Structure 1
């Protein structure tokens, strides 16, 4: 709590000023008083008054008051209270960390209305010059843009959005994710089999054969797999938030899909299922139908962290001299590339779970037959 003293025209007469905060309209409020005595005594009296203010509970003001003094921090805080929960847990955690580290004590303290496009672009460039990557800068701009857009709506247009016209600094061009060749994929699968890590082998094989996202594979349950027909149901994904892993339905309906896998991949998934059943039996547990296939929990009741498989694959890649530019996400690119010359564009969209503005995923049985042929073809290539 801030305060100050000021000598009036008369000797030993002091004006004490104590900051009380802002009223309901956002206006700064102070309390003034007069003290007669020495400067040291006046300072003691000011300290006493500040102590009393600190010990007095602050009045609760409902809601945010929108005006020209509203700061970026206040807009973000209002968004947190009204709409933040619509973000995925992983996005919430990432935005919170970026806010705390790069925004809160920097541009966050500034008034939105008093900040121009030049100041915003200068702020973003300063972040880039400080070493922050393209992804971080893009997300920071997204945080500021969304919060200012909401502030403009909630203030009935009184607060502008200086972020909408601000451009991000250009980052050095990065090489796109490379799709490995068929020869490289076969080498990787042979090395995975030799490693003896059945869980990682099955995880990578499924990613290669289907192009599924790592979060989708981590969320795969036993009852999502038909071990007779080879059909998989993809309707969940694992996301990482501040409270740990969470299983959520996809953001878009097209990501919910059914697809086939080849027999070799299906057999590998069956081996992992048998291994999980054996482990549960040794622990005197039973696996439920909705148990997570790739779980590290003996009862398979909790989904695994997708990052664990990325780290394990990175270690495997080093141990077996696999090219460093091949990552788990490279397998999704391989599957998409392989499908180009094999199936129709709509089936490729359906199998990969991509969202478009002009396509729907409600296809006929002919599309399912086409997907089965795609699964068999890629199984032959991988074998």
Structure 2
């Protein structure tokens, strides 16, 4: 905090000046006080004023964004970030932040919205493609730009255009797409065997994901009171999403994701074994396992859910141990479920079991499990077997399969 003083026209009068901050445009602001007295007295008074100003809380400066011809793409994204991103999931905001900082901020982000044409936008998007970005990434960049400019148009009262609206994405050849590969039954069984050597929680959570097709975050959020260990069902009504340095409990991805799914006998046996392990762990720490404890928690009290990234890292280690190719990811297990059920249940029931939105909007969200879903669970259980293929040799990968890597 700075202060200064100077003589003014009146004899024996000094003007004391104290720095108080900056306005919304960044302009320096001062407080001015006229003081009559000696220079020594003025210095003491200036020190008092500076001390008084420093003791005050920092003023909250409301930055007024001017929605006019000078507004840039960055201005619009920052305004959207401050007034809208809080409603999004942490993983979505992290993705938007990354796309903005890496692909937008120092390039098209500096351009004034009013100066951009759809030609400029398409040229920029084609440049991203030429740099080697995937179609999905370029599409997401265009989505961020489109949302920001749409909001800028609204917040400017229609004064600003939306140059993204009429733009088109570059074309990608069909050959450039790398389809998601569902693992074979042999690969799935080898993964389940490999997981047994890591941790019973990892082994069980992979079995659950394979057996039900649930998402990684949904599996991390399962509580014991979501599991009916008599009827053999699991209720999915929460999800864990990665946040900056932590994980957050939230509702599942969509309303359709709130569902109950049946599990096969082998998967139920794994859950029962894990329940016993968790109870013993709690007892050894002089604790009790509460009914709403998280199933796959690594803590003795079961209160802390596993971080989704830790499950992905464990899967990578499992994949390497099992000799499964690195084109198989944790999410591929969900594709295995979808592929394996094609022959046994209807498309509508498959979409209901996997929590997809487009085929379940008319479905009531109850705890009942349709007979068709039970048939799906039993079919997957027969494929996986009660065990997990313990006769499979994990020392060497199958011929033609590459060892996965971290």
Same fold (TM > 0.5):
yes
Aligned pairs (5 A) from 1:299-318:
299-318=301-320
Q: Is the 8 A contact 1:71 1:109 kept in 2?
A: yes
Query: 1:357–1:316: structure 2 CA closer, same or farther, 3 Å change rule?
Result: closer
Does 2:81 align with 1:99? no
Supply the distance in 2 between the matched residues of 1:246 and 1:130 (Cα, whole angstroms). 34
Does the 8 Å contact 1:210/1:261 carry over to 2? Answer: yes
Is the 8 Å Cα contact of residues 92 and 241 (structure 1) preserved in structure 2?
A: no
Give the superposition deviation at 1:243: 5.1
Which residue in the other structure is 2:81 paired with?
80
Counterparts of 2:195 and 2:281, CA distance in 1: 21
Q: CA deviation at 1:113?
A: 0.8
C-alpha distance in structure 2 between counterparts of 1:366 and 1:290, whole Å: 20
Residue 296 (structure 1) aligned to one of 298, 321, 327 = 298
Q: Which moved more, 1:127-136 or 1:210-219?
A: 127-136
Match of 1:246 among 245, 248, 266: 248
**Partner deviation per Cα, 1:335-354 (whole Å, 9 max, x = no partner):** 11121111122211211110
SS at match of 1:340: coil
Shift of 1:303: 1.5
Paired residue secondary structure (1:158)? coil
| Cα distance, 1:72 vs structure 2 | 0.8
Q: How does 1:255-294 map to 2 (within 5 A)?
A: 255-294=257-296
Q: Give the whole-Å Cα distance in 2 for the aligned partners of 1:363 and 1:282.
A: 39
Q: Which residue of 2 aligns with 1:139?
A: 140
Cα deviation for residue 357 of structure 1 reads 6.5
Farther off after superposition, 160-169 or 123-132: 123-132
Judge conservation of contact 1:346–1:359 (CA < 8 Å) in 2.
no
In 1, Cα distance between the equivalents of 2:366 and 2:229?
23
TM-superposed CA distance for 1:245, in Å, is 0.5
Q: Which residue of 182, 187, 190 maps to 1:184?
A: 187
TM-score (norm 1): 0.79
Matched, 1:224 2:219: no
Q: CA deviation at 1:105?
A: 2.5
Partner of 1:158: 159
With the length of structure 2 as denominator, give the TM-score of the two structures.
Answer: 0.75
Extract unaligned runs of 5+ from structure 2.
Answer: 1-22, 28-57, 386-406
Give yes or no for contact 1:347–1:370 (8 Å, CA) kept in 2.
yes
Structure 1 residue 358, shift from structure 2 partner: 7.4
Q: Of 330, 337, 340, which aligns to 1:338?
A: 340
- Map of 2:32 onto structure 1: none
Partner of 2:202: 200
| Greater Cα offset, 228-237 or 162-171 | 162-171
Check conservation: 1:121, 1:168, Cα contact below 8 A.
yes
Determine helix, strand or coil for the equivalent of 1:258: strand
Query: How far apart, in 1, do the equivalents of 2:305 and 2:60 lie?
Result: 45
Structure 2 CA distance for partners of 1:366 and 1:316, relative to 1, 3 Å: closer
Residue 109 of structure 1 pairs with residue 110 of structure 2:
yes
Given the alignment, which residue of 350, 353, 358 partners 1:351? 353
Q: Distance in 1 between matches of 2:286 and 2:84?
A: 44
Distance 2:360 2:338 in 1: 19
Q: What is the rounded CA distance, in whole Å, between the counterparts of 2:365 and 2:148 in structure 1?
A: 39
Q: Deviations over 1:126-160 (max 9, x none)?
A: 33333444343222222111010111112222111
Secondary structure, in 3 states, of the residue corresponding to 2:279?
A: helix
Q: Which moved more, 1:121-130 or 1:222-231?
A: 121-130
Distance, in Å, in 2 between the alignment partners of 1:365 and 1:294 is 22
Check the 8 A contact 2:222/2:294 in 1, yes or no: yes
Deviation readout 1:191-247 (Å, 9 max, x if unpaired): 434x25322211111111111111110111111101111111001111112252011
Aligned to 2:31: none
Determine if the alignment matches structure 1 residue 375 to structure 2 residue 341. no
Deviation at 1:368, TM superposition (A): 1.4
Measured at CA, do residues 114 and 315 of structure 1 come closer, stay the same or move farther in structure 2, by a change above 3 Å? same
Question: Secondary structure of the residue that 1:362 maps to in structure 2?
Answer: coil
The SS at the match of 2:115 is coil
Number of positions where the alignment pairs a residue of Structure 1 with one of Structure 2: 333
CA distance in 2, matches of 1:316, 1:269: 19
Question: Against the structure 1 CA distance between its residues 252 and 163, is the aligned structure 2 distance closer, same or farther, given a 3 Å change threshold?
Answer: same
Matched residue, 1:167: 168
Moved more, 307-316 or 206-215: 307-316
